[in-house]
Amino acid sequence: MTREPIYEALFALLAGAAGFTTASRRLRHWSDVAAAEQPALFLAQKSETAELRGNLPTQWICDIDAYVYCHAPDETSAATTALNPLLDAIETAFTPAGADLALNRQTLGGLVYRAAIAGKIETDEGTLGGQAVAIVPIRIIVP
């Protein structure tokens, strides 16, 4: 497995998914991201697991978290009105297109077997303020 092209392709896919003002592979805490820098997207490589499959090559499972930050559009609106379209855009980015359409899976341009949202999306809708945060779990399978 050659890691960097895979993580670069994932970042390019997600950074272009919505109108993010800030996007980086270096995670920053939401309190360090000014409102003018949001909506923001950050990726954090979480873990990699090697799975042995008999005489087949090792299969790698890579888990990444995408952090999404945004502010409520105004003082009377819930921050989720800004967060939900960003989450929808990230989900849509994983929809297969082009050569991936026939496979019915996102392959990051043929670099991986599959890349997808996998697991529970943690959200904080900014109940006590205008800051919303979501952590989107992403899994990449590399044969």
**Residues sharing a CB contact under 8 Å with residue 126, sequence separation 6 or more, in sequence order:** 71, 72, 78, 79, 80, 132, 133
For the chain, domain boundaries: 3-142
pLDDT band at 21 (very low <50, low <70, confident <90, very high): very high
Looking at domain 3-142, what is its CATH homologous superfamily?
Phage minor tail protein U (3.30.70.1700)
Q: The whole model's pTM is what?
A: 0.92
Average pLDDT value over all residues in the chain: 93
pLDDT at 88 over 90: yes
Range with lowest mean pLDDT among 18-32, 88-102, 110-124: 88-102
What is residue 51's predicted lDDT score, i.e. its pLDDT?
A: 93
**Between 3-15 and 80-93, two packed helices, what is the crossing angle to 10 degrees?**
130
Q: What is the pLDDT of residue 128?
A: 62
pLDDT tens for 30-53 read 999 999 999 999 999 999 999 998
Is the pLDDT at 99 greater than 80? The verdict is no
